Amino acid sequence: MSDDFMLDTDDLQRRMEGTISNLRTEFASLRTGRASASMLEPVMVEAYGQPTPVNQVGTVNVPEPRMVTVNVWDKGLVGAVEKAIRESGLGINPQLNGTIIMLPIPELNEERRRELTKVAAQYAEHARVAIRNVRRDGMDQIKKADGLGEDDRKLWEDEVQELTDTFIKSVDTALETKQGEIMQV
């Protein structure tokens, strides 16, 4: 390979791993019929004049398999937290008990399970697009490299493609696992 050109494959890999990490976070927010504290991670509450994650205004607990509770620290924010959860699109109806907001997790019906698998597929497709964008950046760097022979160029392109294929396969595996989890009754 050419001595003067060095593609930063570690940077490409780090960016692709970030995409996978983000995908796992998005998958965690999809409820599967079991209670999980992570399902509230994407919910933002208007607190103190700015959007704040729910876990920064109260304690999120899972006392039983079908119940999530949020113990809001500031009594003045209870209404805002309840409203944020209600409007989050999670399909959960919060119940107030003082400063504690209880979120009973209902059984998922077949129709809702199918909707959630479609949402999971959308998340996975966004991750694939992000990985392909990182791949394109790498390929552009290779194309812009001066003095790089055709053989060297092909070797670098193959390396970037191999990295891309590995991460796309990882996205597909994560999607299959999550869809299986969602469809499990």
Dist CA 10 CA 21 (whole Å): 16
**Sequence ranges of the domains in the chain:** 9-27+109-183, 34-104
pTM tops 0.75 = no
User: Is there a shared CATH topology between the 9-27+109-183 domain and the 34-104 domain?
Assistant: no
In the CATH hierarchy, which top-level class contains the domain 34-104?
alpha beta
pLDDT tens string 124-135:
999 999 999 999
pLDDT tens string 34-72:
777 888 888 889 888 899 998 899 999 998 888 899 999
Architecture of domain 9-27+109-183: Orthogonal Bundle (1.10)
